[in-house]
Amino acid sequence: MSTPIRDYAFLSDLHSGLLVSRHGSIDWLAFPRFDSPSLFSALLGDPDHSRWLLHAVDGTVKERRYLPGTFVLETVWQGPTGTARVTEFMPVGTGRADVVRRIEALSGTVEFAEELVIRFGYGDTVPWVRRVSDPGGAPALVAIGGPEAVVLRQPDLPTGSDHHHRGRLRVSATGSAVGPERRQADLVLSWFRSHLSVPGPIDVDVDLARTIDYWERWTEQATNTGGHDAFVRRSLLVLRALTHEATGGIVAAATTSLPESLGGERNWDYRFCWLRDAALTLESMLDHGHADEALQWRNWLLRAVAGDIEDLQIVYGVAGERELSERELPHLAGYASSRPVRIGNGAVEQYQADVVGEVMVALGKLRGIGVAEDEFSWSLQRELLRFAEQNLERKDQGLWEMRGDDHWFTHSRVMMWAAFDQGVRAVREHAMTGPVARWERIRDGLRAEILDHGFDDRAGSFVQAYGGTEVDASLLQLPQVGFIAYDDPRMLATVARIEQELRDGKGLVLRYRTERSDDGVRGGEHPFLACSFWLVEQFAMTGRRDDAVALMDTVTGCGNDLMLFSEEFDPDSGRMVGNFPQAFSHLALIRASDALGGHDPNRGRSDGRRHRR
């Protein structure tokens, strides 16, 4: 049976990330980048598809936590004859790819069992494993599979049998620094290219101190964290942890193919950089004191979309790669038998009209806080608007990446309006150059069109797509970019329909009704946490504070004990579903908290309250 997603902790070295279960199994790790082939893949298969298990024999977990403001995980184990703490982290700022697991006896004696199963290439490549000696004579375990290799250093190396390595480690509070009854044991797994020499050992104390210091200093920079301070700080940390330190690319999640419905086929690879998700992340960073990361992302964007604007994609690789072809891995049974397991993402071929608007709004906010445009950044924005103008009459596949027929989605048209609105404001308010009169005509024409075709007079609400009658939770974003006021009667009527038609029995919000929308994929899904946080924001901005607080409590209750959130939540089973941790959920949480704290999270540059037609 698959480990519940809520039982996993997430660790990151700002290049990649891993998931380790409450019971000590690292079931997912891709080195050296988030989107690399995984080294540990049991998350999407079974233990034979690779994992690293470390647990107290006959023990139970008393407590686990992150050290405050960090991604250093501490787990306290109670064994039959003592207690021990396991500290786990991925060292930051070393230029290496390491995982550290330190066992420390707190009282008595505790024995730990270890099982290491290494399979490179998404659990498909059995490596050649051998014992070697470091220059100082210490033994190590090296595994090589094609271009990849790892080396394991620890006391009492595990022994191999049938492609599994198993062993025991004992720590004692009265033990010495070395020997069979030691107080502490460090286990370090290091990844490297197989054609290179085995990397040397690390100084765990130095790397632990450096990693703690990095995360604490980064967290201390956060501002305006409000009444949900702990959730907001952890969410900001997640967004940072999903950002590649070197390239500035921001991945949507650390995993692939965690299903939106257990046993279903809505399983996607989110380890890439969606322009939309990254733009929204940038805004959250800017609102909370992290302008450097926003500027780094702008530079990533300039590199990723360089060239002919006609080749603009909605999603890129971590370094700006464009080839993200989707394929299936039939050798993996999938999380909770949810097939297929996919790598790559076919959405790379889609046209999603909202993306330019999201990017323009984010770059407008960066400009608004005083970050100067350079010759390339404003030229890029003009090119983005040229792309939007050339595709003005083109239907799209929308925010939710529908795999059915294209439509004129109301949300997409509003985001196109927002794109041209940002262009106009850049010229009028920031002295940028551009065909402002033409942009104004396009913007105003889009507004009139949306109010004519995206609003259903009979239902009295905005609708998901032109010519349709269904509502969609993406409509909650209309006031967020200033297209309409939160308290406009048309918006309030739309919210009333969303509450009636898209909320489940516990108040959580679906993206849309899959049974009424041709999204091209079989099966259903569960409430989408970002949409629920958007509704909190809407309530808070229209004076429904009690409703906002109640819903905020419900949605934050869908996270785990470490304040991590997946994409969706199944209220019937109480299980997280979808990829994890999910940037979209965390950034929407931040906006909701801002709204509850009295801070207007409106990321647009237009004052929506003036749009009263």
CATH number at residue 145: 2.70.98.40
Query: Using CA atoms, how far apart are residues 308 and 97, in angstroms rounded to an integer?
Result: 35
- Annotate 287-311 with DSSP letters as a single string: HTT-HHHHHHHHHHHHHHT-S-GGG
Give CA 582 to chain center in angstroms: 3
For residue 226, the SS3 value is coil
Cα angle value 537/283/396 (rounded, 5°):
80
The pair of structure tokens assigned to 379 is: 């030229």
The pair of structure tokens assigned to 319 is: 């370094």
Task: Tell whether 290 and 164 lie within a shared domain.
Answer: no
Residue 610: predicted pLDDT:
41
- Residue ending a domain, choose from 174, 198, 214: 214
Cα angle value 524/529/534 (rounded, 5°):
120
Is residue 156 in a domain? yes
Task: Tell whether 493 and 445 lie within a shared domain.
Answer: yes
Q: Within 13 Å of residue 488, how many CA atoms lie on the same side as its CB?
A: 23
Q: How distant, in Å, are the alpha carbons of 61, 105, 247, 587 from that of 76?
A: 6, 10, 36, 30
Residue 604: predicted pLDDT:
40
The amino acid sitting at 518 is D
Domain hosting residue 300, numbered range: 221-608
H helices of 310-354, in order, are none
Query: Using CA atoms, how far apart are residues 60 and 47, in angstroms rounded to an integer?
Result: 20
Task: Tell whether 167 and 263 lie within a shared domain.
Answer: no
Task: Tell whether 86 and 142 lie within a shared domain.
Answer: yes
- Residue ending a domain, choose from 214, 239, 269: 214
Query: Using CA atoms, how far apart are residues 487 and 485, in angstroms rounded to an integer?
Result: 5
Burial of residue 3 (CB within 10 Å: 0-12, 13-18, 19+) is middle
Task: Tell whether 245 and 168 lie within a shared domain.
Answer: no
Q: Which residue has the tokens 């008393």?
A: 62
The pair of structure tokens assigned to 442 is: 């396009």
Helix crossing, 583-596 with 229-241: angle to 10°?
150
**Residue 302 CB partners (closer than 8 Å, separation 6+):** 376, 377, 380
Is residue 613 in a domain? no
Domain count, the chain: 2
Cβ contact 561:21 at 8 Å = no
Cβ contact 390:419 at 8 Å = no
The amino acid sitting at 116 is L
Query: Using CA atoms, how far apart are residues 501 and 517, in angstroms rounded to an integer?
Result: 13
- Residue ending a domain, choose from 199, 214, 229: 214
Task: Tell whether 282 and 178 lie within a shared domain.
Answer: no
Element (H, E) at 552: helix 545-556
Task: Tell whether 319 and 364 lie within a shared domain.
Answer: yes
Task: Tell whether 431 and 540 lie within a shared domain.
Answer: yes
Report the CATH number that the domain containing residue 327 is assigned in CATH: 1.50.10.10
Is residue 547 in a domain? yes
Task: Tell whether 454 and 549 lie within a shared domain.
Answer: yes
Task: Tell whether 136 and 244 lie within a shared domain.
Answer: no
Task: Tell whether 409 and 482 lie within a shared domain.
Answer: yes
The pair of structure tokens assigned to 83 is: 């207690």
The pair of structure tokens assigned to 460 is: 């009295």
Is residue 94 in a domain? yes
Task: Tell whether 180 and 319 lie within a shared domain.
Answer: no
Query: Using CA atoms, how far apart are residues 532 and 517, in angstroms rounded to an integer?
Result: 20
What is the torsional sign of CA 419, 424, 429, 430? positive
Q: Which long-range contacts (CB under 8 A, 24 or more apart) does 535-539 make?
A: 535/473, 535/476, 535/495, 535/498, 535/499, 535/503, 535/509, 536/592, 536/595, 536/596, 537/476, 537/480, 537/588, 537/591, 537/592, 537/594, 537/595, 537/601, 538/476, 538/479, 538/486, 538/495
Local mean pLDDT, 10-residue blocks, the chain (613 residues): 96 98 98 98 97 98 98 98 98 98 98 98 97 88 98 97 96 83 95 96 98 97 88 97 96 97 94 94 90 88 89 95 97 97 94 94 91 88 97 93 87 98 97 97 98 95 95 97 97 98 95 74 84 98 98 98 97 95 97 92 47 42
**Residue 209 CB partners (closer than 8 Å, separation 6+):** none
